[in-house]
Amino acid sequence: MKEKVLLAFSGGLDTSFCAMYLAQDKGYEVHTAVANTGGFSAVDLKLIEDKAYRLGAKTHTTLDVTQEYYDKSIKYMVFGNVLRNGTYPISVSSERIFQAIAIIQYAKEIGADYVAHGSTGAGNDQVRFDLTFDVLAPEIKILTPTRDLTLTREYEINYLKLHGFEADFNKMEYSINKGLWGTSIGGKETLKSDQTLPEEAYPSQVTKHGEETVTLEFEQGQICAINGMRNQNKVLLINELEKIASAYGIGRDMHIGDTIIGIKGRVGFEAAAPILIINAHKMLEKHTLSKWQQYWKDQLGNWYGMFLHEAQYLEPVMRDIEKFLESSQQNVTGKVVVKLRPYSYTLVGVDSTFDLMKTDFGEYGEVNRAWSADDVKGFTKILGNQMKIFYNVQKRNDK
């Protein structure tokens, strides 16, 4: 009997090569599974299934983990305003973990001898998949043909052509990973420090011009309505906002950062909904959280994002950080008005019952109601005591 391999299959170039190579060259019984984190439509999934069978898969299945991905990751990334290096909403980094968890669970269900993925040896995904597989199912061995053979994209394309596989290989020049929380784009321009992606490389093209105002409503930190239309399904709200804002080309950028394996990495991305949601949420928090809530949440949010990026989602401390982040959102409720235009946006303002500016204590720069002029004079004198003592002592050095 042939040994059974479950391949994490996206239908892209690397996994297409792996499917054919493992079945034809290595003689394994190949089963494929795509773990959908919100990046594939029903049409996409059918095309992926057809491609898997054409490449030699014995069975193929779709594992939909979109809702789990939101509930266990995206929600907390919003609470933490997570943008890696202040830029990237950790789109692929976070979804890979949930894809890996779904794949390894399914591998155990079907009794696979091996689990395989198409990651290269120069990126982060190899660590995310390997680590998750090894922690959750150390008894299942891991196969990684693309990494082990040190293959180029050109080699893989030629291999598939020589074996009679027909596809639009021009599209395969770019590695595109689409999920609920954004789309990453890798290609020849991202490999060089002095180039950027051409307009046509982005899956979403600019079709709207002029200006448009959109109102985002949050309830305890989670988006709950767009332009007054409420929906309990957060996934649908994110998709709706993405449809509105991506038509303006909002959320595009180039992320440059440190990889898990120690080299610098560069990738383009588009994430209209994540960028708007995170920054609108952050603005609402400025109005509704205390000074020290914001300070400590910034620290933990940054750590949470770093751990997610570096494959540490299963580390128990992540559950502890999530509890803090969730606790901090009690008063993060209200509306944020955003003005959209091609390639940019403006956060106009917020309306919240918990707005800390709306108090009887005073209006900044205008009038004080909860203290007197003498109160401020005394406060300032005490506040300056440590500095006054320091500079008084420094006079001894002048002698």
Task: Set out the domains of the chain in order of their start, with CATH numbers.
Answer: 4-173 (3.40.50.620), 200-289+328-351 (3.90.1260.10), 363-398 (no CATH)
Structure tokens at 136: 């959750």
Residue 49 in this model has a pLDDT that exceeds 90: yes
Predicted pLDDT at 93: 87
Q: How many residues does the chain have?
A: 399
Confidence of residue 320 (pLDDT cuts 50, 70, 90): very high
pLDDT tens sequence across 110-169: 999 999 999 999 889 999 999 999 999 999 999 999 999 999 888 999 999 999 998 776
Buried b (16+ CB within 10 A) or exposed e, 109-143: eeebbbbbbbbbeebbbbbbbbbbbeebbeebebb
CB atoms within 10 A of CB 59: 14
pTM, 2 dp: 0.93
Beta bridge partners of 214: 338
Residues 6+ apart with CB under 8 A from 362: 368, 369, 370, 371
Predicted pLDDT at 175: 81
Beta bridge partners of 339: 213, 346
What are the two backbone dihedrals, phi and then psi, of residue 121, each rounded to the nearest 5 degrees? -90, 5
According to DSSP, residue 84 is labeled B
pLDDT tens sequence across 203-215: 999 999 999 999 9
CA distance 263 to 284: 36
Residue 172 in this model has a pLDDT that exceeds 80: no
CB 12 within 8 A of CB 52: no
Strand order, beta sheet including 212-219: 229-230, 222-226, 212-219, 334-341, 344-351
Q: DSSP letter string over 146-178?
A: HHHTT--HHHHHHHHHHTT----TTGGGSEEEE
Residue 360 in this model has a pLDDT that exceeds 90: no
What's the maximum distance between 2 C-alpha atoms anywhere in the chain? 92
Predicted pLDDT at 166: 82
pLDDT tens sequence across 54-96: 999 999 999 999 999 999 999 999 999 999 999 999 998 899 9
Predicted pLDDT at 1: 82
Chain mean position to CA 19: 27
Confidence of residue 171 (pLDDT cuts 50, 70, 90): low
Q: What is the mean pLDDT of the chain?
A: 94
Across residues 333-349, what is the average pLDDT?
Answer: 98
pLDDT tens sequence across 26-36: 999 999 999 99
Nearest C-alpha neighbor of 32 from the set 114, 125, 93: 114
**Percent of the chain topping pLDDT 70:** 99
**Percent of the chain topping pLDDT 90:** 86
